Amino acid sequence: MANKRVKVIEQCHIGPPPGSVSSTSIPLTFFDIPWLCCPPIKRVFFYEFHYPKTHFLQQVIPNLKQSLSLTLKHFFPFSSNIVFPPKPQTPHILYKEGDTLPFIVAESTTTNLNNLVSDSPRDVTCLHPFVPVLPSPRALEEDESGTLLISPMAIQVTIFPNSGLAICITFRHVVADGRAFHHFMKFWASLCGPKVGLDLPLLDRNMIQDPNGLRPIFLEAIWNIPIKTMESTGQVNNVPSDMVRRTFVVRNEHVENLKKYVTTKCQNHGLETLHVSTFVVTCSLIWVCKVKSEDNTKDDDELHILAIMADSRNLPQFSIPLTYFGNCVVCGNAEITESKLVGQNGIFEAAIAIGSKIRCLQYEGYKGAETLMSNFTEFATLGKHMLLTAGSPKLDVYETDFGWGKPKMSEVVQVESSMSISLSDCKGKGGIEVGIALGRTQMMKFNSLMEQFLEEIAVHDS
């Protein structure tokens, strides 16, 4: 890592305690396979912690390492390898005795922690020094067939002396979805801090049924995708110089006003009240504001897509426990024409499209799995007007307490490069946090539109 804003103190590797995990091969299910195409996920947690550097190095870091090792005993896929052999052999996760993940300890040399946890617009590169890069995929030794070994996770802890620390994790989605990843984080935090009693993860892939035979279809699609698609290490290149990131907070009162607005519109149009949730109205607001803030917006019939990721655990057709470790996400594409999206009733029209799609996913989960695969394989044609949702306010990100209190802020770093918005619970008094990255001028327009909409809807409600 060559970066003047941080100084690397230590680079090491952490794995489960010796002898605690036997060699294990875990197959990829049809839920996992599409995510082989996904660039690495990057999530950072910032904590306020007013201790000197010596305290961090002598007490905090050793505790983090030991508790991480104990956590990996149960979440060992993160310290395994993703094995990608040539066709017709199938990709899988393989743990062998001694497998580890990279663990970096660094010190911030210039950055003020308060600037990083601000809700104001910040240059997108401000988080880059704290993000670890995954090791490059490597060829399996003594194998001439072209089998690749792909590392699934790297962790960097960055110290801000007398101020706090950042824990940033880069990981591959093919190993775990958001719920499984945050289970891992909270388990690690519980062993490091005061909380105890979290459930162990369930790694049994036999509980994933495939009645529609999606797995062989998805494998065939993966084999036809260039291998370089799966080789990204999370290194960020060529970020536009004017791009900024910002976290917006949609407060509970805003959410309730939006829900009342949409419900009233449904009644006025003689429509059945749809799935009007916090997620639906928040995404409707953000989607409309983002499209209207673009310079080339036209009032025409060009199609826009919001890709909705939904956790299918506990859905009747799957009946998968919440503690299942792996991927269990389905996808639905809410589609709407630009003329409706930017029109007078844009938020209402968006809410209808999103709510209808979520209702469909609740009853057609397997179709949602098919959509996830097609979104990856057809992204070149769909991507022009596609917005992806990442995260969920139901994952309780701000409950990740290592013993230093709740995070001051947590962000999904890759929103700057994946045409996505991130959603999470709120660190304050309730509501939902939305992370987005836009050009500086567009961000100002986006912010103005949001404030205008929320003010109009509050007046409408009164």
Residue at 18: amino acid letter: P
pTM, full prediction = 0.94
Residues 6+ apart with CB under 8 A from 153: 78, 79, 101, 134, 169, 170, 171, 172, 175
Question: Whose CA is closest to 354, among 294, 261, 255, 276?
Answer: 276
Catalytic-labelled residue, pool 74, 128, 173, 254: 173
Q: Are 331 and 294 in contact (CB under 8 A)?
A: no
Q: Which of 189, 209, 231 is the last residue of a domain?
A: 231
Q: Which of 231, 259, 289 is the last residue of a domain?
A: 231
On whether both 22 and 54 belong to a single domain, the answer is yes
Query: How far is residue 430 from each of residues 92, 250, 401, 456, measured CA to CA in Å?
Result: 40, 9, 18, 21
Coil, strand, or helix at residue 271? coil
Residues 6+ apart with CB under 8 A from 280: 262, 274, 351, 354, 355, 358
Distance CA 106, CA 157 (A): 6
CATH of the domain at 203: 3.30.559.10
Task: Spell out where 316-363 has E strands.
Answer: 329-337
Distance CA 160, CA 6 (A): 10
- Give the model's pLDDT for residue 375: 81
Active site annotation includes 99 = no
Helix residue ranges, H only, 38-165: 53-55, 61-72, 113-116
Is residue 270 over pLDDT 80? no
Per-residue pLDDT band for 267 (boundaries 50, 70, 90) equals confident
Q: Residue 369, class by beta-carbon neighbours within 10 Å (0-12 exposed, 13-18 middle, 19+ buried)?
A: buried
Is 201 inside any structural domain?
yes
Is 237 inside any structural domain?
no
Residue with tokens 């918005």: 421
Tell me the per-residue pLDDT of 335-391, one tens digit each, with 9 for 90 and over: 999 999 999 999 999 999 999 999 888 887 777 788 888 887 776 666 668 899 999
On whether both 193 and 278 belong to a single domain, the answer is no
Is 116 inside any structural domain?
yes
- Give the model's pLDDT for residue 314: 74
On whether both 298 and 184 belong to a single domain, the answer is no
Is 238 inside any structural domain?
no
Domain count of the chain?
2
On whether both 50 and 158 belong to a single domain, the answer is yes
On whether both 60 and 101 belong to a single domain, the answer is yes
On whether both 268 and 397 belong to a single domain, the answer is yes
Residue with tokens 């567009």: 442
On whether both 316 and 202 belong to a single domain, the answer is no
99-103, 201-205, 249-253, 367-371: range with lowest mean pLDDT:
367-371
Higher pLDDT, 228 or 151: 151
Tell me the per-residue pLDDT of 217-247, one tens digit each, with 9 for 90 and over: 999 999 988 777 777 877 777 778 889 999 9
Tell me the per-residue pLDDT of 275-325, one tens digit each, with 9 for 90 and over: 789 999 999 999 999 999 997 766 678 899 999 998 988 777 778 999 999
Q: In the chain, pLDDT over 90 holds for what percent of residues? A: 66
- Give the model's pLDDT for residue 79: 98
Is 321 inside any structural domain?
yes
Residues 6+ apart with CB under 8 A from 274: 262, 266, 280, 351, 352, 355, 356, 359
> What stretch of H or E contains 429?
none
On whether both 107 and 162 belong to a single domain, the answer is yes
Distance CA 138, CA 121 (A): 38
Distance CA 111, CA 291 (A): 33
Q: Are 332 and 364 in contact (CB under 8 A)?
A: no
- Average of per-residue pLDDT across 405-430: 88
Is 212 inside any structural domain?
yes
Q: Which of 177, 204, 231 is the last residue of a domain?
A: 231
On whether both 141 and 168 belong to a single domain, the answer is yes
On whether both 218 and 366 belong to a single domain, the answer is no
Active site annotation includes 119 = no
* N-terminal to C-terminal alpha carbon distance within the chain: 55
Is 1 inside any structural domain?
no
Tell me the per-residue pLDDT of 24-45, one tens digit each, with 9 for 90 and over: 999 999 999 999 988 999 999 9
Range of the domain at 322: 243-460
Is residue 418 over pLDDT 70? no
On whether both 150 and 253 belong to a single domain, the answer is no
Tell me the per-residue pLDDT of 71-118, one tens digit each, with 9 for 90 and over: 999 999 999 999 999 889 999 999 999 999 999 999 998 778 988 998
Is 236 inside any structural domain?
no
- Give the model's pLDDT for residue 41: 95
- Give the model's pLDDT for residue 48: 94
Residues 6+ apart with CB under 8 A from 425: 393, 394, 395, 396, 397, 398, 399, 432, 433
| Residue 438 CB-half CA count within 13 A | 26
Tokens of 244: 């900024």
Beta strands 92-95; 303-311: pairing state = unpaired
Question: Whose CA is closest to 236, among 363, 130, 89?
Answer: 130
On whether both 15 and 125 belong to a single domain, the answer is yes
Is residue 1 over pLDDT 70? no
Helix residue ranges, H only, 43-177: 53-55, 61-72, 113-116
Distance CA 319, CA 298 (A): 44
Q: What angle do CA 147, 150, 156 make, to 5 degrees?
A: 165
- Give the model's pLDDT for residue 460: 67
